[in-house]
Structure 1
């Protein structure tokens, strides 16, 4: 039987619920075939997540244009992650309430609006607001992709497909500095957004024409008290961490304590709402051991990953140390980003065949080793050596992320997929924001103790301490990797291979 097409006047949103079920079943047991809906969502997610780190390489330029210091400039990346952490908890409810096409349209339209505002920002505060709008759209795409994947891909084939998703989830942040480096060489930082905008608009338009609805929307209410608690709690906590050693000790401690309390109240309130089956973020996902271990492992991994990523551009572009241009810096980190992207699908295939432990444990050990080497960086470390270690670091991370995503979400029953992907995305972004703020603070404070951030020797001394802290986070990843099983059994109701 041939399905009707758009040429016949049939639009995807006209698909009845029975056809949706047939659509899901069509791909649920087809190993070796990636559903079109996943390909479209991966392309869109790659574009929006690329912007999470695309401003890292532009920090020195923005410091000069707006007259701000490193602490202020790094908020362009931190506020992006913070906004995602505040918005992603809502997506568990949002994705259950609207269709796939509606969620996709909202995400891409919001992201494109933020990109346009960023391109024309007349002042730094406006640019920060634009990043918040961008991040709000990105926050919808990540859980949408993960939830759809878990719905339409059989368990036996998830490693391979999740490996392709690694291109968007991990490779895009790694390539952000390289892309911005090339664009900054051609023009101002505004060119970054001017190039991204038409690409995002095109991906949104053509993706929406081809995208199919997956699943059936459910009507439910949203707890705005939960939204406020999540947004203020996570933002206050990370702001307090970023002010360590910068503001007064009393005010810094107050922000950290207030943020921690608000996050705790948010969690307690979700437990209360679970009694009526109406939580914003269903914490019953944490009852599943493998999901909880994966959640903690991803948090520690992203703290080290994104925190360390901001350090290398600061080192390479420092005029008193290596004095590289943004383009040169981008080219230096590009091999690592490409390595992560190319290895993602291969790691996924290896996971399907051998399980997680032969990949995650060696990968986490390699991550620690690379960060310990970077902690020995000096004023004259050969560039070739830095590139080689960065490539090994990205390869190690590729071996970690794909299996851990697959193990974690695969441990959940289908009705918790959207909440699990939302919780995973929330903690991932908060951890990245904390890692970024923490490592910059460690670097700055140590450099001040050694003679000031403008002293090359002191700057490198601060950088070394920051990489040591990153390696410490990596040790946590190693310990958690030892707790993961090689595979998880398919929960009842999950897609299974024929």
Structure 2
């Protein structure tokens, strides 16, 4: 096993494999965020409320939250090629359905099919890269993934805004289709099988508990972000079922000989710190990426295109910083990147919490750019450092855990931000004499948005405390070979 582990990586055609994965990943991430800018437009066209519109993002996250935990198992049951082709077929089908969607229900279904593709693709992408790229070059490779994964959400809103203004929201999906088809064909020609198919026993109970656990939590938090609020029976029951199912799931995984997700990965302290950092980071990113476009459109009255344009510089800077951070990480380790990164995030969110209807364009662009630089300093170094501490056979489990918790964090973050924004708006409205006055409506909305940014800042400060526990993981080939 040892000899094989050392010689195998040289046979991979690394570049074509990377190109196929990154192209598919780019479009997956693009369509995930492009829709955020279209939400205001969709509310008018489809005659739906903001809380209903939020389900287009929530259903996507919910599907990911349910399917990604199973990905570790799928990686051991099917070859890399089979999974890649299946992921792209789902993505293409979902994107085509969304492009044709005549109403909200149809669009929601299409989003779920799309998410099935993304749920297979994300863990596959991370796992393949961990297998084909040696540890000492991994920071640079993860930086490349970061470039792709962050530039897509950055240009998504701008391109979406342009398409909405000149064509219609359907074109967000029509535009993605040809690229997905190209990625599929490049995968058919170039994708190699990088993992062994071991076909471990499938434990149905684990799958049910994991789906109920992650699904319940994502659904509960998302419903709380809607009109229901935290006190509604639906929210309490969903979160309770989720928590109980997750506890049972964890107990079951720890007692099984061949667990679905090997939770023993949590025995490695830097992996735990990495998971916490990624969790906090995703809550901050996704909540601010949802609140900011909404505020620019509804609070400041910008068009979807202009709102997207304002967010473009920050996103591009983040993407360009990613490979640089990867190289710095390979050289210096995570600590001196992550701590300053969290300081930048906390400071920019503190300034964002004073945003008003008169805040200038420059104010928004500079703060958003600082926020994005901070995020690029945290995500990838913490994630790579955490995975580096795991033995080779834990990679599928490690990537499944990281990717699952990213989706759960995204759902929890957006739900908390939306509910904090909504309750802030409501409490402000109670203090005014004339609730129908447009000025009061605007001021109330601004008050809610400010509260949501304060929540983000608090999360960043918690992250900062955790970051002081970071230690660099040095990976030697010997330890990997002996562990394997």
Which ranges of structure 2 fall in alignment gaps of 5 or more residues?
430-434
* Structure 1 pair 491–269 and aligned structure 2 pair: CA distance change class (3 A): farther
- Displacement after TM superposition at 1:35 (Å): 4.1
Instruction: Identify the range of structure 1 (454-463 vs 238-247) with the bigger mean alpha-carbon deviation.
Output: 238-247
- Per the normalisation by structure 2, the TM-score is 0.92
3-state SS in 2 of match to 1:489: coil
Q: Which residue of 2 aligns with 1:11?
A: none
* Deviation digits for residues 188-210 of structure 1 (CA, Å, limit 9, x no counterpart): 11111111112111111123212
Deviations 1:139-183 (A, max 9, x none): 111111111111121111111111001023333233332231122
- Alpha-carbon distance between aligned partners in 2 of 1:247 and 1:141, rounded to the nearest angstrom: 33
Residue from 353, 370, 376 that aligns with 1:392: 370
CA distance in 1, matches of 2:308, 2:318: 15
Shift of 1:19: 9.8
Aligned match for 2:254, one of 271, 278, 282? 271
1:310 alignment partner, SS class: helix
Give the Å deviation of 1:34. Answer: 6.0
After superposition, give the CA deviation of every residue in 1:341-394 in whole Å (9 maximum; x if it has no partner): 111111111111111111111001101111111101011000111001101111
Q: Hey, what does 2:304 align to over in structure 1?
A: 326
TM-score normalised to the size of structure 1? 0.90
- In structure 1, the residue matched to 2:52 is 72
Q: Is the 8 A contact 1:118 1:193 kept in 2?
A: yes
Question: Which residue among 46, 53, 60 is the counterpart of 2:40?
Answer: 60
Question: Do structure 1's residue 488 and structure 2's residue 468 form an aligned pair?
Answer: no
Higher share in helix? 2
Distance verdict in 2 for CA 1:491–1:418, change over 3 Å: farther
Pair 1:256-2:217 in alignment: no
Q: 2:70 aligns with which of 70, 78, 90?
A: 90
Q: For residue 275 of structure 2, what is the aligned residue in structure 1? A: 295
Deviation at 1:481, TM superposition (A): 1.3
1:40 shift after superposition:
2.5
Change (3 A) 1:198 1:39: closer
Residue 491 of structure 1 deviates from its aligned partner by 7.0
**Match of residue 457 from structure 1:** 443
Structure 2 CA distance for partners of 1:101 and 1:413, relative to 1, 3 Å = same
Residues 1:224 and 2:192 are matched in the alignment: no
Give deviations 1:270-323, integer Å, cap 9, x for gaps: 2233xx21x2211111111111111011101100110111011111111xx321
CA distance in 2, matches of 1:217, 1:444: 48
- Determine if contact 2:6/2:481 at 8 Å carries over to the other structure: no
Number of aligned residue pairs? 469
Q: Residue 367 in 1 paired to residue 348 in 2?
A: no
Which residue of 278, 283, 297 maps to 2:263?
283
5+ residue gaps in structure 1?
A: 1-17, 28-32
How do 1:198-213 and structure 2 match up within 5 A? 198-213=178-193
Match of 1:25 in 2: 10
Residues 194 and 250 from structure 1, CA distance in 2 versus in 1: closer, same or farther, beyond 3 angstroms? closer
Equivalent residue for 1:246, pick from 203, 227, 240: 227
Does the 8 A contact of 2:165 with 2:304 survive in 1?
Answer: yes
- How far, CA to CA, are the matches of 1:72 and 1:186 in structure 2? 25
* Residue 465 (structure 2) pairs with residue 479 (structure 1): yes
- The residue correspondences of 1:437-452 to structure 2 (distance < 5 A) are 437-451=415-429
Mapped partners of 1:342, 1:380: distance in 2: 30
3-state secondary structure, aligned to 2:480 = coil
- Aligned CA RMSD, in angstroms, stands at 2.1
Match of 1:8 in 2: none
SS of residue matched to 2:199 = coil
| Aligned partners of 2:23 and 2:179 also within 8 Å | no
Q: Which segment is superposed worse, 373-382 or 71-80?
A: 71-80
CA-CA distance at 1:443 after TM superposition:
0.3
Displacement after TM superposition at 1:103 (Å) = 1.1
Q: Give the C-alpha shift of residue 20 in structure 1.
A: 9.7
